[in-house]
Structure 1
Amino acid sequence: MGELPEPRPQFLHQKPTVSLVSPLSLFLQVMVNGDSERLSLLVNRGNADAVSQQMASHPKYLESFLRTQHYILHMDGPLPLPYRHYIAIMAAARYHCDYLVYLHSAQFLRVGGEPQWLQGLEAAPPRLRLLDHINKVLAHQPWLTGCSHIQTLLKTGEQCWSLAELVQAVVILAHCHSLCSFVFGCNTDADFVPLSSKSPNGTPPTFCPFDAANGNSLDSTCDMMCLKERIQKSQEERETQTLQQTGNTEKEMICFADASRFITDPDFCYQEFARKEEDHFQVFRVQDYSWEDHGFSLVNRLYSDIGHLLDDRFRSVARLPPLHSTDMKRAIWNYIHCVLGIRYDDYDYGEVNQLLERDLKLYIKAVACFPDSTKTPVCPLRWTPLKTSERIHINLLIMEARLQAELLYALRAITQYMIA
């Protein structure tokens, strides 16, 4: 099979067109037949949403992604269809991802959702509002997820959730949070702001403390606060320019996709895991609770077949061609889990610094932890001659590692609730 054409770069933070409301139905028969090449051709001819077009350079993975997404949003499950899309809106809103907020708002209305709910979170049913806290925690500081969050949702009188409903809701939240990272991370062909290789004004760099004992600082590139400020300034300038060039119809669409109405506690965001001595969060050790040995069986038992579909996604991204080396892919995966509080006892984290260049580590951390601030990336992947498909490959790794990390925290909390 010849080399597939690379997808045309798109800016995924812009509003999708109406044709994107229900793209998956176009591919169902192709996916059933397992014809990944034909699927990729359909996508590259413009018969798909912008996300699928970005993923088209990896057709086997795209097939797995679309099958999973279609299952959780459209197939049999304990939650009604409007609830599923509203939960997706809540998840995307945490990262101010207007693209996904608009997309799922349109789908929400198409499947019979109550338009009034789109006025804001306060207009939604109490049961959906109860998800707000776990949505916030999983999105920004998943290590805070505990048994008490699960208990609150399952034991709240008439508004309580069933265990099966909660598991599907958690899967949708994790899926959409990680997809936000992909949406923003894939704008790699946008104009970039040059990034200084040194911390400004002598500000000490942040680092991941897990490997400090071995003398290996995993984040020795620059001050993340400076990075966030520069990204925010760049984004504000772009949004101001966009609004000045936008007509009345476009302004109405932007208003419709306003994410802020679905957010509470907007200042709650990612913080360095256990960055201070007074923090006593316990490291999540994969040897104690892993996807393969624990998470897969639990989620598959409570939400039929989703475990197999998610596992296929993880395997599909692992089977993508090596990025210069197989060890580099593992370094990216383990580094993302590391900054989210998950550690592998059998991995030498010194390899992260050896295999990942400084700018790449900074890019990975920004996309994984601050996706709402990466609409205009300031971390160009230019230091090596990467093809578009390779840049997308890196963003797929970020997305899947984030997805698995959130699922591990949520499923461990559910396990603790069940055995309590």
Structure 2
Amino acid sequence: MIVAGAESCDPSGVQPYIPPCAGYGALRRKEGRGIKISQQLESGPSSFIPVEEILQEGAESAQRRLFIEAFVSTGRVDNITMVMGLHPEYLTCFWKTQYLLLRMDGPLPYYKRHYIAMMAAARHQCSYLVGFHMGEFLQVGGNPEWLRGLQYAPQKLRNLNEINKILAHRPWLITKEHIEALLKTGDNSWSLAELIQALVLLTHYHSLASFVFGCGINLETDHEGGHVFQPPSPRSCDSSPASEDGVNSSSSADAMEEVEVLMERMKLLQECQLEEEAVTQEEMETRFEMEKRESLLVTPSVDIADHSLPPNVLCFVEDPEFGYKDFTRRGEQTPPTFRAQDYTWEDHGYSLINRLYPDVGQLLDEKFQVVYNLTYNTIAMHSGVDTSMLRRAIWNYVHCVFGIRYDDYDYREVNQLLERSLKIYIKTVACYPEKTTKRMYTHFWRHFKHSEKVHVNLLLLEARMQAALLYALRAITRYMT
């Protein structure tokens, strides 16, 4: 996450400069010279990931080389950046995109961008992001009165509320009428360029909230009065250290077996792809519909009670009862499936954004590509593994729960590769991230590295963002035509 004052890192004003550094030790030396370090080292950046997994020295220090010195002018490295730093290639893309959205020239003034970020994060009860952008909003000259709640903001911003809540929870409901209502409201009308930037900001922060909850990001020590995720109840989290690590003495063998089963299934699927005769489109569609119906059953085993929203979040939320509902629901008319081939990111969404908001389309495309193709050719303790099939299954399952179907994908692979606890985690983080618990995190892929679980969260973040953007951009295209 770009932090206050980060624009000073780039004297040219083109893009953030990311110089090399010596690793986390450099950050500690800065602290010794009186520069504030925001994260509390005792608890670390994440409540799910042991601090030593993130703050490794020696050969692993390259994973932090991208961000420590770059943020030294502000004296802080935020917790999101520390966790994303496990995947430096992705962090670079993420940082450039967020820098453009918040710091570079664009249709919207800076203070409105931060206010929109607050509106988006509040939909998922993410005090971490809301609190951060309240500070940023004030720093760039925002009116403190607006922070009392949505009703104190200008009507033009309040008009975003409807599309904000739909994008956050049920993006398939967006229509060209929603777009028209924003573009043709008299004195409070949005220009198309302004609306594009607002939509990218909304989807960016909805998805970033998923990452915050999915990785158990801890609140910065200088952010007072907020919390990142709901306090765990005795029913939703185990308290023993062994179960928190995800593998205890009795389950270690089972966890090892899970890895071997996954490896074998990937091998069999690859062999079947070579041998299986062409499958009809009707059969492929049937397999998608089966997976979509089965996703109805993928819910947390424990019903996590809703907690009251903190005041600094509640004031930015209208209609708080509006949330995710399964795309396919029993006894209700199902919205039409979004066929990915009819409106693709590559052929439609990318060009539309680039035309109306130059540069951001290129950066978004790079970010999608990097995370989708990111691999170290490892699975748990195995190396030299082609993980493309597994990454595609995760990406397509996220799109499936948002009603998007790929004609050329065999959805049987999802059931073969994603076991139930992983599906529960994916759906929770993507659809209602505020309900994520540490137990969910520890109970999938119990013998995998934490960096691999963070990679899953990056896939979820970007797949979710692309799905919502596709619905929004399709509605804009329909409005324009």
- Report the TM range for the smaller structure's normalisation: 0.7 to 0.9
Q: In the alignment, residue 169 of structure 1 is paired with which amino acid?
A: A
Separation in structure 1 between the aligned mates of residue 470 and residue 92 of structure 2, nearest angstrom = 24
Q: In the alignment, residue 96 of structure 2 is paired with which amino acid?
A: R
Decide which of 337, 359, 371 is 1:317's aligned counterpart.
371
Q: Which residue of 2 aligns with 1:115?
A: 144
Separation in structure 1 between the aligned mates of residue 183 and residue 437 of structure 2, nearest angstrom = 36
Following superposition, the deviation at residue 26 of structure 1 comes to 7.2
Q: In the alignment, residue 237 of structure 2 is paired with which amino acid?
A: V
Q: Which residue of 2 aligns with 1:281?
A: 335
Structural mapping, 1:199-218, within 5 Å: 216=291
Is the Cα–Cα contact under 8 Å of residues 288 and 405 in structure 2 kept in the other structure? no
- CA displacement 1:4-48 (0-9 Å, x = unmatched): xxxxxxxxxxxx9xxx85274476589546759431554899841
Following superposition, the deviation at residue 338 of structure 1 comes to 0.2
Structural mapping, 1:16-415, within 5 Å: 21-22=3-4, 24-25=6-7, 28=10, 31-32=16-17, 37=62, 38-40=65-67, 42=69, 47-187=76-216, 193=237, 216=291, 219=294, 224=299, 226-227=301-302, 229-230=303-304, 232=305, 255=311, 258-321=312-375, 322=377, 324=379, 325-374=387-436, 378-415=440-477
Following superposition, the deviation at residue 188 of structure 1 comes to 8.6
Q: 1:222 to 1:272 in 2, by over 3 A?
A: closer
Q: Which ranges of 4 or more aligned residues in structure 1 deviate by more than 3 Å?
A: 23-37, 40-47, 188-192, 210-223, 375-379, 381-384
Is the Cα–Cα contact under 8 Å of residues 337 and 401 in structure 1 kept in the other structure? yes
Q: In the alignment, residue 148 of structure 1 is paired with which amino acid?
A: E
Is the Cα–Cα contact under 8 Å of residues 211 and 349 in structure 1 kept in the other structure? no
Count of aligned pairs between the two proteins = 367
Q: In the alignment, residue 270 of structure 1 is paired with which amino acid?
A: Y
Structure-2-length-normalised TM-score? 0.70
SS at match of 1:274: coil
SS at match of 2:211: helix
Separation in structure 1 between the aligned mates of residue 295 and residue 465 of structure 2, nearest angstrom = 25
Gaps of 5+ in 2: 22-61, 219-228, 244-284, 380-386
Is the Cα–Cα contact under 8 Å of residues 146 and 153 in structure 2 kept in the other structure? yes
Is the Cα–Cα contact under 8 Å of residues 73 and 84 in structure 1 kept in the other structure? yes
Separation in structure 1 between the aligned mates of residue 315 and residue 5 of structure 2, nearest angstrom = 26
Separation in structure 2 between the aligned mates of residue 188 and residue 391 of structure 1, nearest angstrom = 13
Separation in structure 2 between the aligned mates of residue 363 and residue 95 of structure 1, nearest angstrom = 16
Separation in structure 1 between the aligned mates of residue 401 and residue 288 of structure 2, nearest angstrom = 16
SS at match of 2:200: helix
Q: 1:374 to 1:106 in 2, by over 3 A?
A: same
Q: In the alignment, residue 224 of structure 1 is paired with which amino acid?
A: T
Q: In the alignment, residue 404 of structure 1 is paired with which amino acid?
A: Q
Identity of matched residues, %: 49
SS at match of 2:423: helix
Separation in structure 1 between the aligned mates of residue 374 and residue 161 of structure 2, nearest angstrom = 35
Following superposition, the deviation at residue 224 of structure 1 comes to 2.2
Is the Cα–Cα contact under 8 Å of residues 139 and 177 in structure 1 kept in the other structure? yes
Is the Cα–Cα contact under 8 Å of residues 273 and 341 in structure 1 kept in the other structure? yes
Separation in structure 2 between the aligned mates of residue 328 and residue 417 of structure 1, nearest angstrom = 37
- CA displacement 1:44-88 (0-9 Å, x = unmatched): 998411110010011111011011001001110000111100000
Which has the larger Rg?
2
Is the Cα–Cα contact under 8 Å of residues 292 and 328 in structure 2 kept in the other structure? no
Is the Cα–Cα contact under 8 Å of residues 287 and 410 in structure 2 kept in the other structure? no
Structure-1-length-normalised TM-score? 0.80
Q: Which residue of 1 aligns with 2:27?
A: none
Q: 1:63 to 1:23 in 2, by over 3 A?
A: farther
SS at match of 2:66: helix
Q: 1:151 to 1:170 in 2, by over 3 A?
A: same
Q: 1:24 to 1:64 in 2, by over 3 A?
A: farther
Q: Which residue of 1 aligns with 2:249?
A: none
135-144 or 350-359, which deviates more: 350-359
Q: 1:92 to 1:213 in 2, by over 3 A?
A: closer
Following superposition, the deviation at residue 372 of structure 1 comes to 1.7
Separation in structure 1 between the aligned mates of residue 114 and residue 134 of structure 2, nearest angstrom = 7
Separation in structure 2 between the aligned mates of residue 291 and residue 221 of structure 1, nearest angstrom = 27
Q: In the alignment, residue 193 of structure 1 is paired with which amino acid?
A: C
Separation in structure 2 between the aligned mates of residue 377 and residue 122 of structure 1, nearest angstrom = 38
- CA displacement 1:94-120 (0-9 Å, x = unmatched): 000000000000000000000000000
SS at match of 1:108: helix
Q: CA RMSD in A?
A: 3.0
Q: In the alignment, residue 39 of structure 1 is paired with which amino acid?
A: L
Following superposition, the deviation at residue 279 of structure 1 comes to 1.4
Q: 1:144 to 1:63 in 2, by over 3 A?
A: same
Q: In the alignment, residue 182 of structure 2 is paired with which amino acid?
A: L
Separation in structure 1 between the aligned mates of residue 347 and residue 237 of structure 2, nearest angstrom = 43
Q: In the alignment, residue 298 of structure 1 is paired with which amino acid?
A: L
SS at match of 1:262: coil
SS at match of 1:65: helix
